[in-house]
Amino acid sequence: MTKSVPFMSRPEFLAGSPLVNGQPIAGPGATLPILNPATGETIATLPLLGAREAELAIASNGAALGAWRTRAAAERAGILQSWHALVAQNREDLALPLTAEQGKPLAEARGEIDYAASFIQWFAEEARRVYGEIIPAAADRRSMVLKQPVGIVGAITPWNFPAAMITRKVAPALAAGCTATLKPSELTPLTAFALALEAGVPPGVFNVIAGDAPAIGSVLTGHPDVAKFTFTGSTAVGKYLTAQCASTLKRVSMELGGNAPLIVFDDADIDQAVAGVIASKFRNTGQTCVCANRILVQDGIHDRFAEALAARVAEFRVGNGLEGDTDQGPLITPAAYQKVRDHVDDAVRHGARIITGDQHHDAGELFHQPTVLVGATEAMQLAGEETFGPVAPLFHFKSEAEALALANRTRSGLAAYALTSDMDRFWRVAEALEFGMVGVNTGIVSNETAPFGGIKESGLGREGSRHGIAEFLELKTISLGLSGQVQA
């Protein structure tokens, strides 16, 4: 057992391997080291897979599809319920490697395992609720609408939520009767392999491969047998992958980058506002697509809010999530750390003032002190780009109209937040914000029962909720002619 991970009752979760057709699969010889971002230590070494292995995975999906899609919905639901039970049962042993490969505090990793499990349970229940329709088209005709699985699904998931982003895609796909091949991030594949090991589905129904990202991605987006492609990641990469899917006109779901505003109005409760910013901005060390990237604070409350937020942020415990209680972990890579530094330095050059944080943290190479700065403006890089780190920039505004104009001035449209005690303003602002999800008086917008997704350049489609399974279903219309009348 590597020294960076405490005792685990399921050590195979740390020594996982890619799975194709229910079996571990070896690569051509090259290997992929998995690093703990908190320590730099190599915690696992995996085979570096590529296009050949992706082709094998899709072939096994195809071989398994007929039997899986024709299983009774109740049977698929039962298998998913068993998967949910195993994930819940092994919560701690799944959280430990998640923290080791991703860096988030162990308490957050446990919460992510719970969150991931919630999608499995939800879509297990939804499997039995895929209903069709009968439409009275005319006196002598009826139109029947069937909902059928789209087919083979290709999925690519990111490193920041290496468990939840998987179950949010794979659970509805399997519930609908699809088979799937998943490519997790090369930075965090161990959690994916562990989840696949526990899925309990027939061979070929759910495959997991990692390695050469461009090679695997090209197969998943270009293979004619893949009917649906789903991706979570940056907008730039999402656009590229969508273009690749166009050659075979695949159905696509894209959950892409954000530039979330969080508006604090004068009438907001300061304690509630600070709690909302903490929940939104600093979860996962600021490395989430729905993080508050721009915090807009009305003049009348600005200084008091800034002081209260800075005091709370200064108390954060920063460190290795496997070595005691922590609130903030490392950035995922040196490039991610450098982007945070560049954004802070650029903001200071353009007149921002730091009121807490700003320095490298002595916990390790990739740790950055949680930072709050005031005097942010639209001229700064952090106004137009996701920082993806523990930096909270505060922007002044005077009026509600000004706040909405600032908030909506972005091509991203994933999430937005507002803090107010005025219920009339609640409705005005919630409806005026041009984003797929809006949190009012809360910094959390996601759960398994509500649709998750963005508008504008933040994506296509929705995950979670009853709408999430619809992304993996096709509608088939059957017209039925009625030849006779009721007999007397």
Residue ranges of the domains in the chain?
Answer: 11-256, 260-440
**pLDDT at 174 (0 to 100):** 98
pLDDT-based confidence at residue 1 (cuts at 50, 70, 90): very low
Query: Are the beta carbons of 255 and 288 closer than 8 angstroms?
Result: no
pLDDT-based confidence at residue 16 (cuts at 50, 70, 90): confident
CB atoms within 10 A of CB 87: 23
- Looking at 246-374, list the stretches that DSSP marks H as alpha helix, in order from N- to C-terminal side: 270-281, 299-314, 334-349
Query: Are the beta carbons of 99 and 59 closer than 8 angstroms?
Result: no
What whole-number distance in Å separates Cα of residue 23 and Cα of residue 20?
A: 5
DSSP, collapsed to helix, strand or coil, labels residue 412 as: strand
- Asked: is 260-440 a CATH 3.40.309.10 domain? The reply is yes
Best CA proximity match to 367, nearest among 42, 44, 112, 104: 104
What whole-number distance in Å separates Cα of residue 194 and Cα of residue 92?
A: 12
**pLDDT at 124 (0 to 100):** 98
pLDDT digits (tens, 9 = 90+) for 94-133: 999 999 999 999 999 999 999 999 999 999 999 999 999 9
Integer-rounded Cα Rg, in Å, for the chain is 24
Angle at 264 between CA 261 and CA 266, to 5 degrees: 150
What whole-number distance in Å separates Cα of residue 368 and Cα of residue 359?
A: 6
pLDDT-based confidence at residue 57 (cuts at 50, 70, 90): very high
> Mean pLDDT throughout 222-232?
98
Provide the token pair at 139. Answer: 């006196």
- What rounded mean pLDDT belongs to the chain? 95
Best CA proximity match to 43, nearest among 93, 4, 92, 99: 4
What whole-number distance in Å separates Cα of residue 33 and Cα of residue 436?
A: 37
**pLDDT at 6 (0 to 100):** 67
Provide the token pair at 455. Answer: 């508008």
Question: What is this structure's pTM?
Answer: 0.96
Does 152 or 11 have the greater pLDDT score? 152
pLDDT digits (tens, 9 = 90+) for 262-297: 999 999 999 999 999 999 999 999 999 999 999 999
What percentage of the chain reaches a pLDDT higher than 90? 92
Provide the token pair at 64. Answer: 């398994």
Report the catalytic residues: 255, 289
Lowest mean pLDDT among 88-97, 149-158, 358-367, 409-418: 358-367
CB atoms within 10 A of CB 460: 18
Query: Are the beta carbons of 366 and 334 closer than 8 angstroms?
Result: yes
What whole-number distance in Å separates Cα of residue 444 and Cα of residue 421?
A: 17
Best CA proximity match to 454, nearest among 122, 232, 266, 236: 232
pLDDT-based confidence at residue 448 (cuts at 50, 70, 90): very high
DSSP, collapsed to helix, strand or coil, labels residue 129 as: helix
pLDDT digits (tens, 9 = 90+) for 68-91: 999 999 999 999 999 999 999 999
Query: Are the beta carbons of 422 and 267 closer than 8 angstroms?
Result: yes
Q: Which CATH number is associated with domain 11-256?
A: 3.40.605.10
Same CATH topology for 11-256 and 260-440: the answer is no
Best CA proximity match to 2, nearest among 14, 16, 10: 14
- Residue-level length of the chain: 488
Provide the token pair at 347. Answer: 């903001």
pLDDT digits (tens, 9 = 90+) for 372-403: 999 999 999 999 999 999 999 999 999 999 99
pLDDT digits (tens, 9 = 90+) for 296-340: 999 999 999 999 999 999 999 999 999 989 999 999 999 999 999
pLDDT-based confidence at residue 8 (cuts at 50, 70, 90): confident
pLDDT-based confidence at residue 453 (cuts at 50, 70, 90): very high
